[in-house]
């Protein structure tokens, strides 16, 4: 049930006599948060009055006269400059709740037309452990895929693994120079991760040594910019010039600060190596590690038998490592077609682009020049190597032929937006203009200091450790003896552990999904795993309360299938407010699809859980004034439970019946 759409249809009819194309005006319906303004509000009278030159309030009352909303609403009220406030009839609300209770989809319509949507998400570069940066794509992509599938779309999920890039050059190099074959056989996942970290540290050390040397010169330049800006500020006469000078001064100072902090972090990296005699010896013994790693990667790509054999040996272990995390997070994919899958298609892709006259030679490299961009898209480097972009073009072609999708969503970090802009531009040139392609971009996970979340030594924080921390915190917050004591019958260890897992994992996912994907957010376990505020634990607790009430009433959820037709109305405003929220379920789901933003569903859940808490505080179910009131309230409890459970499951989050 999508009430704004139902209203729009009726408004479109009413507006026909005022304007040729009523649809943009008819769709101006929004839900309200204050019952004073009704449950929904139509805002079309103001903009339409401008277009047709009428007084907006008068126009609003003319529209209301033509509207046929009797089945749904009380007579509309006109407010302020011409808002039309719509208040749902209690009889309509009750009937709708009753219909929701008997429908396994809770009246969520199946999308029409149904679209075939590929969701490319998670897609980590394997061969290194998953870190905090991988949460976002994994969790956002999974929530979008689940929601679109529930809306009735044909969803295909694909994990575009980075299983063919430099990271393999790194572990191959590591294995050849530092590896212990026995260890790798016995304990492959840990050993490969150790080799990756070691070689990566040597590379970072080399880079840091090189970069840090350039900093003093850059710093001197930046400092003289500051001095110049200070002088300019003193000399500035009028306010406009002053403002300008202040701006340049601030930006020059910022540059100095950022160089200083960059120098600090580089020095830390260098010190970490130099403080460790063994590591330092290794660093000195491998001065060309960066280049050597690239060579190993090139050899792999050219089919060198030793490197192919190592890659074939390592890859399954790398996959085991990430699958362990996917299992923990209950994430799965229809396909896992990694970059290596497309390897043999790259050469033909480049040839095809050349044949179409889209790609040409530029200083030895093959490039696609695009009018909208300054820099071309390089599809083959001078040394013959193909790039990330080449693979993505091959992937597009494959997806088009194999799946023929209507939409392809790439759930990838915002920092790759230029790559995707170019990719989509190329796609339009090779006959894919009918496929809707969206870079579902997202921001960074920050530490509480507002900087990207890193460990002390400057590496990104491992995902597995983070999940463990969240589960431990959940155990303290939710399963502490004082809280648990009150639960009857008592929870055994297994149940307690189950609760800690569900709440801990839910906390990480929910916190991520609760922010609009494009904003950065600060990672704070304290806030994430709390029973108050916009957290999964708060919503999961609301769910557990609904189940507790059903248990006490001795009623199975599946037995609540309707509202007694004899019930004529609500007895408390909190009942009605909760009912209105429950009716908005489909609106939240559709909003997730519109902006590819799961936070719309999170916001909805939080609003619903809050309305449920108010209801719980004010409306007794088991000790209600009459049997009729008890049965209405029990129906609200059951439906709230179902909608919370379903919504959380669309976000990839579980519930427990008691907590
Ligand atoms: N492996 C890439 C990375 O970690 C992300 C891949 C995203 N998907 C794609 N089709 N490019 O940056």
Q: Give one word for 375, left, alpha or beta, with left for phi > 0 and alpha for psi -120 to 50.
A: beta
Residue 462 β-bridge partners? 131
Is the minimum distance from the CB of 123 to ligand 1 under 6 angstroms? yes
Q: What confidence score (pLDDT) does residue 131 get?
A: 83
334 CA → ligand 1 middle, Å: 17
162 lines ligand 1 (CB under 6 A): yes
Ligand 1 center to residue 483 CA distance, Å? 44
In the block, which residue shows the tokens 């193909």? 386
Ligand 1 neighbourhood includes 506 CB (under 6 angstroms): no
pLDDT-based confidence at 35, cuts 50/70/90? confident
- The 3-state DSSP class for residue 441 equals strand
What pLDDT is stored for residue 455 in this prediction? 62
Q: How far is CA 356 from the centre of its chain?
A: 37
Bridging pattern class, strands 359-362 and 445-446: unpaired
> pLDDT value at position 404?
96
Q: Is 414 exposed, middle or buried (0-12, 13-18, 19+ CB in 10 A)?
A: middle
Q: What percent of the chain has pLDDT above 90?
A: 73
> Is the distance from the beta carbon of residue 120 to the nearest atom of ligand 1 less than 6 Å?
yes
Are 411 and 119 contacting, i.e. CB atoms less than 8 angstroms apart? yes
% of the chain surpassing 70 pLDDT: 99
Q: Is the CB of 392 under 6 A from ligand 1?
A: yes
Asked whether residue 502 carries a pLDDT value surpassing 90, the answer given is yes
Listed in sequence order, the residues at least 6 apart from 288 whose beta carbon sits closer than 8 Å to its beta carbon are: none
pLDDT tens digit sequence for 105-138:
999 999 999 999 999 999 998 877 788 888 999 9
Q: What are phi and psi of 378, to 5 degrees?
A: -85, 130
Min mean pLDDT across 140-149, 385-394, 452-461 is at 452-461
Measured from the Cα of 412, ligand 1's closest atom is 7
Task: Please say if the pLDDT value at position 454 is more than 80.
Answer: no
> Which pLDDT band, with edges at 50, 70 and 90, does 207 fall under?
very high
pLDDT in tens, 617-630: 999 999 999 989 99
Strand order in the sheet with 407-413: 154-158, 116-120, 407-413, 436-442
Ligand 1 centroid–CA 123 distance in Å is: 5
Asked if ipTM goes beyond 0.90, one says: yes
C-alpha 11 to ligand 1 mean position (Å): 45
**pLDDT for residue 282:** 94
Q: Is 422 in the pocket of ligand 1 (CB under 6 A)?
A: no
Q: Write down the mean pLDDT value for the chain.
A: 92
Question: What's the gap in Å between 412 CA and the centre of ligand 1?
Answer: 7
pLDDT for 420 equals 97
Tell me, what's the pLDDT at 307?
A: 96
Residue 259 CA, ligand 1 centroid: distance in Å: 29
Please give the pLDDT value at position 349.
96
pLDDT at residue 457 in the model: 57
Which atom of ligand 1 sits closest to the CA of residue 420?
11
Q: Is the pLDDT of residue 460 over 80?
A: no
200 contacts 286 by C-beta, under 8 angstroms: no
Strand order in the sheet with 77-79: 29-31, 40-42, 83-86, 77-79
Tell which one of 141, 340, 412 to mutate to probe ligand 1, the residue whose CB is within 8 A of the most ligand atoms: 412
Ligand 1, pocket-test mutation among 120, 123, 164, 405, most atoms within 8 A of CB: 123
Name which of 62-76, 448-462, 483-497, 545-559 the model is least confident about: 448-462
Residue with CA at minimum distance from ligand 1 atom 6 = 123
How confident is the model over 551-571, as a mean pLDDT? 91
State the pLDDT at residue 544: 97
Q: How many A from CA of 160 to the centre of ligand 1? A: 6
Q: Structural domains in the chain?
A: 3-88 (3.30.1360.70), 116-163+332-446 (3.40.50.620), 167-308 (no CATH), 463-650 (1.10.730.10)
Tell whether ligand 1 has an atom less than 6 A from the beta carbon of residue 163. no
Q: Output the CA 179–ligand 1 centroid distance in Å.
A: 28
- The pLDDT tens digits for 608-658 are 999 999 999 999 999 999 989 999 999 999 999 999 999 999 999 999 999
Q: Strand (E) positions, 104-149?
A: 116-120
CA atoms of 12 and 25, how far apart (whole Å): 8
pLDDT at residue 458, as a whole number: 60
Decide: 399 in ligand 1 pocket, CB within 6 A. no
- The model's confidence at residue 280, banded by pLDDT at 50, 70 and 90, is very high
Q: Structure tokens of 87?
A: 């208040």
User: 129, 132, 160: which to mutate for ligand 1, most atoms within 8 A of CB?
Assistant: 160
Nearest to 517 by CA among 122, 125, 141: 141
Write down the pLDDT at residue 565.
Answer: 83
Q: How far apart are CA 347 and CA 97, in angstroms?
A: 59
- For residue 623, the 8-state DSSP code is T
**Ligand 1 atom at shortest distance from the alpha carbon of 416:** 12
What is the bridge-based pairing of β-strands 377-380 and 365-368? antiparallel
Task: Kindly write down the DSSP assignment for every residue of 225-281, as one continuous string.
Answer: HHHHHHHHHHH--SHHHHHHHHHHHHHHHHHHHHHHHHHHHHHHHHHHHHTSHHHHH
Using CA atoms, how far residue 149 sits from 115, 157, 223, 243, 594, in Å, is 10, 10, 56, 53, 14
- What's the rounded Cα separation, in Å, for the pair 579 and 582? 5
Q: Does ligand 1 lie within 6 Å of residue 412's CB atom?
A: yes
Give the C-alpha separation, 198 to 176, whole Å.
13
pLDDT digits over 353-366, tens only?
999 999 999 999 99
Tell me what the mean pLDDT of segment 256-285 comes to.
Answer: 91
* pLDDT tens track for 304-342: 999 999 999 999 999 988 999 999 999 999 999 999 999
**In angstroms, what is the span from residue 203 Cα to ligand 1's centroid?**
22
Residues 6+ apart with CB under 8 A from 358: 368, 426, 429, 430
Pick from 3-7, 46-50, 205-209, 405-409: least confident: 46-50
Is residue 99 within a helix (H) or strand (E), and if so which, with residue range? Answer: helix 90-102
Structure tokens at 142: 């999974």
């Amino acid at each position: 049930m999508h009430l704004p759409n139902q209203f729009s249809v009726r408004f479109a009819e009413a507006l026909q006599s005022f304007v040729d194309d009523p649809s943009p005006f008819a769709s101006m319906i929004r839900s309200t948060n204050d019952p004073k303004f009704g449950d929904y509000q139509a805002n079309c009278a103001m903009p339409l009055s401008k277009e047709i030159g009428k007084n907006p309030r008068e126009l609003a009352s003319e529209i209301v006269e033509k509207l046929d909303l009797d089945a749904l609403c009380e007579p509309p009220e006109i407010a302020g400059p011409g808002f039309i406030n719509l208040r749902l009839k209690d009889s309509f609300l009750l009937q709708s709740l009753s219909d929701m209770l008997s429908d396994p989809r809770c009246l969520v319509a199946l999308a029409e037309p149904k679209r075939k949507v590929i969701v490319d998400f998670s897609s980590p570069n394997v061969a290194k452990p998953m870190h905090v940066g991988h949460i976002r794509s994994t969790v956002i992509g999974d929530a979008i895929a689940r929601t679109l599938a529930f809306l009735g779309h044909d969803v295909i999920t694909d994990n575009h693994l980075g299983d063919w890039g430099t990271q393999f050059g790194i572990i191959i190099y590591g294995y050849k120079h530092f590896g212990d074959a026995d260890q790798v056989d016995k304990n492959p996942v840990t050993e490969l991760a150790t080799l990756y970290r070691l070689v990566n540290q040597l590379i970072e050390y080399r880079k840091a040594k090189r970069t840090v040397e350039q900093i003093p010169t850059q710093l001197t330049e930046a400092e003289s910019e500051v001095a110049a800006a200070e002088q300019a500020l003193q000399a500035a006469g009028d306010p406009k010039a002053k403002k300008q000078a202040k701006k340049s001064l601030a930006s020059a100072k910022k540059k100095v600060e950022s160089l200083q902090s960059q120098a600090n972090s580089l020095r830390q990296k260098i010190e970490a190596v130099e403080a460790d005699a063994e590591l330092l010896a290794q660093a000195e013994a491998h001065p060309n590690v960066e280049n050597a790693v690239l060579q190993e990667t090139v050899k792999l790509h050219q089919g060198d038998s030793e490197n192919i054999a190592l890659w074939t040996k390592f890859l399954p272990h790398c996959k085991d490592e990430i699958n362990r995390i996917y299992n923990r997070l209950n994430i799965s994919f229809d396909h896992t077609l990694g970059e290596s899958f497309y390897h043999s298609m790259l050469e033909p892709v480049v040839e095809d682009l050349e044949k179409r006259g889209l790609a040409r030679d530029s200083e030895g490299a093959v490039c696609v020049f695009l009018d909208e961009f300054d820099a071309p898209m390089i599809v083959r480097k001078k040394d013959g190597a193909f790039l990330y972009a080449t693979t993505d073009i091959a992937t597009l072609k494959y997806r088009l032929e194999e799946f023929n999708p209507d939409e392809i969503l790439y759930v990838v970090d915002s920092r790759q937006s230029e790559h995707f802009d170019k990719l989509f531009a190329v796609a339009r040139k090779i006959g894919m203009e009918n496929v809707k392609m969206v870079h579902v971009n997202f921001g960074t996970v920050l530490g509480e200091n507002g900087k990207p979340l890193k460990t002390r030594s400057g590496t990104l924080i491992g995902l597995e450790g983070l999940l463990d921390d969240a589960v431990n915190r959940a155990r303290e917050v939710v399963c502490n003896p004082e809280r648990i004591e009150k639960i009857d019958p008592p929870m055994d260890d297994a149940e307690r552990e189950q609760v800690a897992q569900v709440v801990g994992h839910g906390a990480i996912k929910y916190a991520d999904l609760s922010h609009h994907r494009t904003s950065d957010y600060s990672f704070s376990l304290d806030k994430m795993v709390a029973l108050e505020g916009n957290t999964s634990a708060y919503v999961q607790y609301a769910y557990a309360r609904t189940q507790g009430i059903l248990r006490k009433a001795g009623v199975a959820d599946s037995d609540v299938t309707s509202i007694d037709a004899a019930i004529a109305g609500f007895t408390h405003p909190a009942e009605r407010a909760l009912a209105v929220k429950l009716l908005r379920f489909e609106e939240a789901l559709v909003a997730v699809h519109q902006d590819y933003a799961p936070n719309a569903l999170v916001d909805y859940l939080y609003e619903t859980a809050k309305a449920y808490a108010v209801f719980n505080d004010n409306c007794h179910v088991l000790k209600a004034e009459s049997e009729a009131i008890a049965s209405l309230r029990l129906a609200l409890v059951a439906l709230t439970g179902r909608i919370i459970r379903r919504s959380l499951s669309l976000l990839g989050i579980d519930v427990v019946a008691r907590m």
